[in-house]
A and B are shown apart, each in its own frame.
Chain A
Amino acid sequence: MEFFSHQTSYPFMATRKVWYTLSAVLMIGSLASFFIRGLNLGIDFTGGVSAHVTFTRTPNLDEVRNKAAAAGFKEPQVQTFGSTRDVVIRLPPEPGQTAATIRTKLETVVKSMDPSVDVAQLEVVGPQVGNELKTSAIWALSFTLLLIFIYIAFRFHTWRLSFGAILAVLHDPILVIGFFAVSQTEFDLPVVAAILAVIGYSLNDTVIVFDRIRERFETNRRLPPGTVLDQAINQTLSRTIMTKVVTSIVVVALLFLGGPVLKGFSEALMIGIIAGTYSSIYISSAIALDCGLTAEHIFPSTRKSAVDELP
């Protein structure tokens, strides 16, 4: 079986203004919702308390909320988690509260509704830990981008490709963050891991296209750069789509079977993989072209430098 039995020849470079506009709209939308709505940060980042309670029958969430508030918990958030009998209660950080006192207080609250309830999981995170995690997540992201910029510039002899790769790569996490801002899905530590994995995978695609660009330029120095880039993208298109289809199979399995703990993680991966595939096809090479990429940049002409050396 083959989806791409004939070599495709889509004019990606000629239509790049369209894709730029689409990406710009999506990115502005993502950033706008990020700044307006913000992220629903998990207790990994904000600090606070998160308790996973399993009831024997479906509880009334409002009742849980009211009873918790009546017991002295400030701003309790109550949501179902997976099944309707599993409930997660989140509380903002409160100084001087230990897990033990919270557990006792919480158990009294939920036991008054259902005597055989089970507090299956309880997490208490200090606010300072959360702040440090935010900082280290931003460091991790910046560091990854810097290292990758250097690696690509070194491997392909030109910053133009690095620049295209980094812009395309920034594009993907911004869209993922935009999705989390719009859907208000909980943004926790595994989501950060997923975003970094997305960066890795998106680059993976971009680099494979770049590798083909280098190969095409080596044999066709006289062709206009736009044509060479189009050829490179079209020739790697079947591989790009195929790999993404296969990866999506496992991500879909994770999304539907991995349980609620991995839901945010799988969603981030799914959105990221779609965005990453799109950006490595439509964006990264186009930006390198607009930065003035030619064959000369990847393979500097030896004859020219010989001329320059003459007195």
Chain B
Amino acid sequence: MLEYARWKYILIAVVLFLGLVFASPNFFGEDWALEIARKDHAAVAPDTQKEVESFLKEKNVHLDRSYIDKGRLMVRFPTAADQLAARDVVNEKYKDDYITALSFAPRTPEFLRALGLRPMPLGLDLRGGLFLLYQVDVNAAVNQALEGYAQDARRALSTANIPFKDITTLATDSGGRPNTVRIILPPEAELSAARNALSQPFQGLSVQSEKLSGGGNAITAVMTPAQVKERQDYAIQQNITTLRNRVNELGVSEPIVQRQGIDRINVQLPGVQNSAEVKNLLGRVATLEFRLEDTQHNAIEAERSGRAPLGSKLYTHTRFGRPVLLKREIIATGDQLTNATVGNSQDGIGVNVRLDARAGENMLKTTKANLNKPMAVVLIEKRRETTQVNGKPVSRDVTDETVINDATIRGVFSTNFVITGLSAGEARDLALLLRSGSLATALYVVEERVVGPSVGSENIQKGVTALIIGMAGVFAFMAIYYKVFGLVADLVLLANVVLLTALLSIMPTVLSLPGIAGIILTVGMAVDANVLIYERIREEIRKGVSPQAAIRAGFEKAFSAIADSNITTLIAGVVLWVFGAGPIRGFAVVLTFGIATSLFTALMGSRALITLMYGGRRKLARLPI
């Protein structure tokens, strides 16, 4: 008699049931769909839904059905051709107020979707789209922080009336210490007073002072590694937030924006094909400055001499074709914006801007004091330029400053006003950039992949065919070689694939082509545990042991071999998981989960099944193995 604990049967049944439920959304497939959302983020009204439906029918586009999901209108189509046709006609008619995105809508029944179940998310290589890997200039972020410390130090020393010769920021100082602010004090300045004055702005920095050979003192403040890291992390986090906002503005369905490694951000936009336009919007570093114009001096004179008068700055790039002198004081900057939208004013199309309270107060004060004087808006953009110097590529950052608008202050205003002087397209892009927040530091694309939708579906089809044929081959072979026990192994294998699918569906991992290869390999390797057990049972039978004792011995003696061998494969899987990125990680995830599910199904599942079949039989002369 063979027995197997009842709780184990129950456990297996529960796990299998849950596995079937979680895996089920994958069996329904997907429809081609079009997502339509309002540009102002309001929910789409049911009236619009009816309007769009009848409009599409009028244009002879076949649609299955449409519904509103989380404020977005989803329209499903029977074919990809209908989907593309619908996008074109909808874009043409509704482009002013709505954004559209091509997507796939799972055919999962309503009750499953209500439970939060969804099919495995597919990677870009399987559904098509744009992949971008951005490099974040984290050192620039640290430099900004250093400049901030230097500026605070300057202010603190001036307030305390302590003279100083020079304040510099150094990426590495002469002693090899990184990220330093260095202050040179003349002999007449008292060191202790200076250190006292600096204790507030340099809080948290490691501060040292030394006597200089030429008289006077030097104070150095070094950012600690923890502060540097914090600053870098902040820059990345800020950039991720901004990129997310911008991606959301684009109206892409299911975008992914995530950190990769120390200083990279990976952006995945399913369904996007036009990389130039998207990249231009995502990576732009743009901000605004509001300044008063210097009307006392002549800008053309300043341009000729190349020297701006004290307290002013010369701008040669302007939208109105003549140079302009602007006061150094900044009234408000782009960071202080709370909202920016495109609107029409009496002077043509413009960007309606709303400032935060502090900037609004400043603006109120300035406009009150400077009525009927001109104020200018400066657009500042950073980009990286790569040129060939002596055959080697050299990159440098370029800042473009353009005065986009110069208007007379006609009334007193504070938080709300309009920027004019832009074309419709420029106004739309500027509003989007201002609204999504500015990037903490510049971003550069280091890797870019565009996959066409047809390549994606072809990849899926090939992967699935290989999986089905491979599985059929394994099933047939096992059944022939191990007879009834082989059929048990086949059932167990099927359960394994279901459990693996379930795990991959509930995990936040994306299935890519190497992931499908991982599933196929798991199918091949999962029989290994069964083979080990069955070969052991055959060995025991050859020794003349009774069938039931052979089954028991087979399972028990094979256990340590199964455990040790799977742990070594697991080590390889986990290392791949940790070191790999993108598709490699996808493969590693599948490999690792596959080992877990195949151990469970082979050790517990097949034992339960075999015990159920042969455990209770008193007269068992031979095993069909």
What separation, in Å, do the CA atoms of A100 and B565 have in the docked complex?
Answer: 49
CB contacts under 8 Å to B, within A226-256, are 235-236, 238-239, 242-243, 245-254, 256
Least CB distance from B261 to A in Å reads 8
Say yes or no for A140: interface residue by CB 8 A criterion. yes
CB contacts under 8 Å to A, within B453-496, are 454-455, 458-459, 462-463, 465-467, 469-471, 473-474, 477-478, 480-481, 483
Are the C-beta atoms of A121 and B452 separated by less than 8 Å?
Answer: yes
Q: A124-B449, A246-B531, A258-B517 are in contact. Are A196 and B572 (CB under 8 A)?
A: yes
Q: A129-B133, A207-B565, A207-B568 are in contact. Are A249 and B446 (CB under 8 A)?
A: no
Say yes or no for A2: interface residue by CB 8 A criterion. yes
Which one, A99, A118, A126, A257, contacts B466 given CB within 8 A? A257
Which of A18-26, A57-65, A261-269 forms part of the interface with chain B?
Answer: A261-269
Say yes or no for B520: interface residue by CB 8 A criterion. yes
CB contacts under 8 Å to A, within B535-590, are 535, 538-539, 542, 557, 560-561, 564-573, 575-576, 578-580, 582-584, 587-588
What separation, in Å, do the CA atoms of A254 and B470 have in the docked complex?
Answer: 8
Are the C-beta atoms of B579 and A136 separated by less than 8 Å?
Answer: yes
Say yes or no for A296: interface residue by CB 8 A criterion. no
What separation, in Å, do the CA atoms of A126 and B134 have in the docked complex?
Answer: 11
Which of B79-87, B298-306, B335-343, B385-393 forms part of the interface with chain A?
Answer: B385-393
Are the C-beta atoms of B532 and A239 separated by less than 8 Å?
Answer: yes
Which one, B449, B465, B513, B568, contacts A148 given CB within 8 A? B568
Which of A33-41, A186-194, A281-289, A301-309 forms part of the interface with chain B?
Answer: A186-194
Which one, B473, B483, B579, contacts A250 given CB within 8 A? B473
* Residues on the A chain within 8 Å of B388, using CB: 95-96
Which of A9-17, A70-78, A197-205 forms part of the interface with chain B?
Answer: A197-205
Which one, A137, A144, A254, contacts B520 given CB within 8 A? A254
The contact size tier of chain A is: 35 or more
Are the C-beta atoms of B588 and A207 separated by less than 8 Å?
Answer: no
* Residues on the B chain within 8 Å of A254, using CB: 466, 470, 517, 520
What separation, in Å, do the CA atoms of A310 and B193 have in the docked complex?
Answer: 74
Say yes or no for B279: interface residue by CB 8 A criterion. yes
Which of B15-23, B234-242, B355-363, B521-529 forms part of the interface with chain A?
Answer: B521-529
Least CB distance from B308 to A in Å reads 33
Are the C-beta atoms of B569 and A99 separated by less than 8 Å?
Answer: no
What separation, in Å, do the CA atoms of A48 and B102 have in the docked complex?
Answer: 29
Q: A118-B452, A136-B579, A192-B584 are in contact. Are A259 and B520 (CB under 8 A)?
A: no
Are the C-beta atoms of B567 and A147 separated by less than 8 Å?
Answer: no
What separation, in Å, do the CA atoms of A300 and B299 have in the docked complex?
Answer: 93
Q: A124-B448, A200-B568, A257-B465 are in contact. Are A249 and B514 (CB under 8 A)?
A: no
Are the C-beta atoms of A140 and B568 separated by less than 8 Å?
Answer: no
* Residues on the A chain within 8 Å of B385, using CB: 96
* Residues on the B chain within 8 Å of A208, using CB: 532, 561, 564-565
Are the C-beta atoms of A140 and B527 separated by less than 8 Å?
Answer: no
Q: Which residue of chain A has its CB nearest to the CB of B561? A: A211
Are the C-beta atoms of B521 and A247 separated by less than 8 Å?
Answer: yes
Say yes or no for A122: interface residue by CB 8 A criterion. yes
* Residues on the A chain within 8 Å of B393, using CB: 95-96
Say yes or no for B258: interface residue by CB 8 A criterion. no
Number of B interface residues in the complex (CB < 8 A): 79
Say yes or no for A299: interface residue by CB 8 A criterion. no
Say yes or no for B122: interface residue by CB 8 A criterion. no
Least CB distance from B555 to A in Å reads 15
Are the C-beta atoms of B579 and A197 separated by less than 8 Å?
Answer: no
* Residues on the A chain within 8 Å of B133, using CB: 129
* Residues on the A chain within 8 Å of B517, using CB: 190, 254, 258, 262, 265-266
Say yes or no for B167: interface residue by CB 8 A criterion. no
What separation, in Å, do the CA atoms of A205 and B576 have in the docked complex?
Answer: 20
Say yes or no for A171: interface residue by CB 8 A criterion. no
Q: Which residue of chain B has its CB nearest to the CB of A152? A: B568
Say yes or no for A222: interface residue by CB 8 A criterion. no
Q: A95-B388, A125-B447, A242-B535 are in contact. Are A193 and B462 (CB under 8 A)?
A: no
* Residues on the A chain within 8 Å of B535, using CB: 236, 238-239, 242
Say yes or no for A103: interface residue by CB 8 A criterion. yes
What separation, in Å, do the CA atoms of A239 and B529 have in the docked complex?
Answer: 10
Are the C-beta atoms of B449 and A197 separated by less than 8 Å?
Answer: no
Are the C-beta atoms of A201 and B525 separated by less than 8 Å?
Answer: yes
Least CB distance from B575 to A in Å reads 5
Are the C-beta atoms of A96 and B568 separated by less than 8 Å?
Answer: no
List the interface of chain B (C-beta within 8 A of A): 125, 133, 135, 275-276, 279, 385-388, 393, 395, 445-452, 454-455, 458-459, 462-463, 465-467, 469-471, 473-474, 477-478, 480-481, 483, 513-514, 517, 520-521, 523-525, 527-528, 531-532, 535, 538-539, 542, 557, 560-561, 564-573, 575-576, 578-580, 582-584, 587-588, 591
Closest CB pairs A-B (n = 8): A95-B393, A100-B276, A253-B470, A200-B572, A250-B470, A200-B569, A247-B524, A259-B462
20 contacts between A and B (CB under 8 A): A96-B386, A99-B450, A118-B452, A123-B448, A123-B449, A123-B450, A125-B446, A136-B580, A140-B576, A148-B572, A189-B583, A190-B513, A242-B535, A249-B477, A250-B520, A250-B523, A251-B521, A253-B469, A258-B520, A262-B463
